[in-house]
Amino acid sequence: MEEQKLEQEVISMPRIGDPAPEFTAVTTQGDINFPKDYAGEWVILFSHPADFTPVCTSEFMTFATMEEKFAKANCKLVGLSIDGLYSHIAWLRTIKEKIEYKGMKNVEVKFPLIEDISMNVAKKYGMIQPNEDSTKAVRAVFFIDPKGIIRTIIYYPLSLGRNFEELYRVVIALQAADEFGVATPADWQPGDDVIVSPAGSCGSAQERMEDSAIDCKDWFFCTKKLDKNLVLDKILKK
């Protein structure tokens, strides 16, 4: 019974729409109280399997070079693995001093990397998935909004590096949906048409079909233009 309880604890995970589980932690940038310290900002909380591993190294270099880009979209980055603080520090120093990848070199990782030797945070967020690995966190990504609510969750296995342009697209699309009350279709990028929510009645469906600003292929599939500059002006910090 005790083993079954432990297994359930390890593989549990929060869901989209849930408040982000709270925790305090030691990081490479000092102690944090999460998500309280990030109130009013978007956050990407992401885990990686281990320090001094090649896929993780490529990911951290990519995230570090994009940190300013995310910051302009009011989004902070917070990393986590179950390695210790001194391992984190040594690994990040090695990245800066020795590693070159895709033209990136002398890369300094300035966002916090959480020490989670106890796996307490990883367990709260379902980052430990025993059928993949019982002692390493998978590549989980949690998008948390300014109110501390989980809005998107993406999971990758240990062997698969993440697509960071997609992570950035998600941040922009979530904010655009909130700001303009729309949905974003497949592969949406700022400047592309957006989806207008389906009509709630026959009358409003007819009105929508007759609205020249809305392009309806059928009553349930309607799009409209949303200017790229308008989207970016609303979202990106100047």
Catalytic residues: 56
Q: What DSSP letter does each residue of 159-202 carry, written as one string?
A: T----HHHHHHHHHHHHHHHHHT-B--TT--TTS-EEEPPPSSH
Q: How far, in Å, CA of 93 to CA of 6, rounded?
A: 36
167 CB-near residues (< 8 Å, 6+ apart) = 44, 141, 154
Helix axes 164-180, 54-72, angle to 10 degrees: 30
Contact 70, 168 (CB under 8 A): yes
H or E element at residue 7? helix 2-11
139 assigned binding-site residue: yes
Output the known binding site for substrate. 139
